[in-house]
Chains A and B, each alone.
Chain A
Amino acid sequence: MEIDPFIFRLSIFILSIFVGYYVVWSVTPSLHTPLMSVTNAISSVIIVGAIIAALATNVESVFTSSSIFGFLAITLAAINIFGGFLVTQRMLAMYKKKKKDKS
């Protein structure tokens, strides 16, 4: 009997939870805020679903009830992707080591 592809996806999901668990425990507490903003940005990979939804149109019109939701989702996810990565970048740029000459 064949294995349902769902089981494979479930396996990936469960294993990723464990990977996430160990990776996040190794994040230094001082970077917890950037961690939140970057997880925000990457969870916006949901944009791939939004793109599929928006492009699923028929010949007559670009905007159907389902594609409009896709376009809205694209806008929201894009705000998050750009905003999330850029603000993380901005924060991380501020974490500096003590300058040797100073102390």
Chain B
Amino acid sequence: MISANLSAIFYLISGVLFILALRGLSSPETSRQGNLFGIIGMIIAITVTFLSIGNFSSGLAYIFMFMLLGGAIGAFIAFKIPMTAMPELVAGFHSLVGLAAVFVAISAFINPTAFNLGTPGDIKLASLIEMSIGAAVGAITFSGSVIAFFKLQGVMSGAPITFKGQHLLNAIILISIIVLTYLLCVTQSSNLFWILIGISFLIGFLLIIPIGGADMPVVISMLNSYSGWAAAGIGFTLENTALIITGALVGSSGAILSYIMCKGMNRSFFNVILGGFGATDQLSQKQAKEQRPVKSGNADDAAFLMKNASSVIIVPGYGMAVAQAQHALREMVDTLKKNDIKVSYAIHPVAGRMPGHMNVLLAEANVPYDEVFELEEINNDFANADVAFVIGANDVTNPVAKTDPQSPIYGMPVLDVEKCKSVLFVKRSLSPGYAGIDNDLFYKENTLMLFADAKKMTEDITKNL
């Protein structure tokens, strides 16, 4: 048994180690060390918890059993999961954090004595507020992440689900959560606590269903943030510094990522959260467009163009992840490099289904990270490049965002792909992208459409090089 002061210091140390874990991610070289700091911080926090309780009852054996069970499941998932499924995995993990927060809050509510929070029916007011916040945010994180998981997994359609009075209903539920928390504090009634948790699950579900598949980067980041606030809420209840620090770190991290993603789409956070983007109203506009001629080619033409180029920029998007084309793509690039062609990759902030999604896939295919560039770093290079190879991206290359103020994506930062001497566009059909709008790039003089599966087309090009 160690004193409360000593354990508080150790919790502080583990909080600092978590800060260092995030700091490590500022560059790939220091990132692995950062992850190690994170692991050490976690070990310290868990060990100190055991020592500070000092009650080595028969419950201890069960704790290790459940920890091992969870650990084994986690480790199994971590080794088996394909890199393309990373967005689902992260959404799934968020849901677990949320649910764990709910469980800890319930446990504290049933047995407040164990946490020094008072006695059942007479819990300290501040603790009650904190645990209600932790439980409510945790429940929202859980059900929201489950929906995000299903949408990413494809179990549920990625299309936004909207109905009349949706926003009104959500607003009423949100207000009732606040009212319930107030009533709970006044009456200490356990029924109210259960209802509070129940409607928090409901609102999490309702908040995410109207948000479409390609807005998932924002949703995942937002849920990441929520899971942090839930942890912080529990941290206040337990008076635990490690949890408070971590909750604040994760909460602000998720918030920043959401901000970056929204900026990448030039949309406000509320516009994304209110949902329904890319649904009904844009469809009519699409149908009004007349048929315009496009140039289409085959692998042979593409190989010819690239062979005669001196620099090629690759623009990957979600389609590359779907087709699992990253390895085939790297093989094509290897062949190009053998012919002394300079190749770089251009990644839009919202390419893929989560922040940094494309980078991980390219890293998996052994693409060195110093060949991969962010939008601001590479956008000026398109004018000097010979060929842009767009694989599985669409809206993020649409020049309409710069020219047509009527367009829903107007003002969104896009890659200046059209400035290249020629553009190769790998796509299965002419169908519009997520935003539901036509891409002007398809009809440009210098664009050659390659209608095929991304992986198959890339392999064919490699053969023809």
Contact = CB atoms under 8 A, between A and B. Distances in A.
A48 B371 contact: no
B60 A74 contact: no
Contacts of A12: 241, 244-245
B252 A55 contact: no
16 contacts: A9-B241, A12-B245, A28-B25, A32-B355, A34-B356, A43-B227, A48-B49, A52-B115, A53-B103, A69-B103, A76-B103, A79-B73, A80-B97, A82-B75, A83-B89, A84-B74
Interface in B7-39: 11, 14-15, 18-19, 21-23, 25-28, 31-32, 34-35, 38-39
B101 interface: yes
Interface stretch (B177-185, B361-369, B457-465): B361-369
A96 B26 contact: no
Instruction: Indicate the size class of the contact surface on chain A.
Output: 35 or more
Given A17-B251, A48-B242, A76 B368 contact: no
Nearest to B39: A85
B90 A37 contact: yes
B162 interface: no
B337 A31 contact: no
Contacts of B35: 34, 38, 85, 88-89, 92
Contacts of A84: 74, 78, 93
A13 B244 contact: yes
B222 to A, nearest CB: 11
A83 B104 contact: no
Interface of B: 11, 14-15, 18-19, 21-23, 25-28, 31-32, 34-35, 38-39, 41-42, 45-46, 49-50, 53, 55, 57-60, 62-63, 66-75, 77-79, 81, 83, 86, 89-90, 93-94, 96-97, 99-101, 103-104, 106-108, 110-111, 113-115, 126, 220-221, 224, 227-228, 231-232, 234-254, 256-257, 260, 337, 347, 349, 354-357, 359-360, 363-364, 366, 368-372, 374
A94 B363 contact: yes
Contacts of A71: 62-63, 66
A71 B210 CA distance: 34
A91 B108 CA distance: 36
Interface of A: 5-6, 9, 12-14, 16-21, 23-57, 59, 62, 64-67, 69-99, 103
Given A29-B349, A45-B242, 18 more contacts: A24-B249, A27-B25, A28-B28, A32-B355, A34-B25, A35-B257, A40-B90, A43-B246, A45-B231, A48-B46, A49-B240, A66-B111, A69-B107, A82-B72, A83-B77, A88-B38, A91-B363, A95-B28
Nearest to B372: A30
B104 A46 contact: yes
Given A35-B253, A53-B114, A79-B74, A16 B22 contact: no
Contacts of B26: 26-28
Give the interface centre of B115, B126, B247, B371 by most chain A CB atoms within 10 Å. B247
Contacts of A48: 11, 45-46, 49, 238, 240, 242-243
A18 B374 CA distance: 26
Contacts of B253: 20, 24, 35, 39
A37 B68 CA distance: 20
Contact of A43 (B39, B60, B250): B250
A39 B42 contact: no
A20 B46 contact: no
A59 B257 CA distance: 47
Contacts of B368: 96-99
B42 A66 contact: no
Contact of B370 (A36, A77, A98): A98
Nearest to A73: B103
Nearest to A21: B252
B185 to A, nearest CB: 15
A19 to B, nearest CB: 6
Contact of A55 (B53, B71, B224, B232): B53
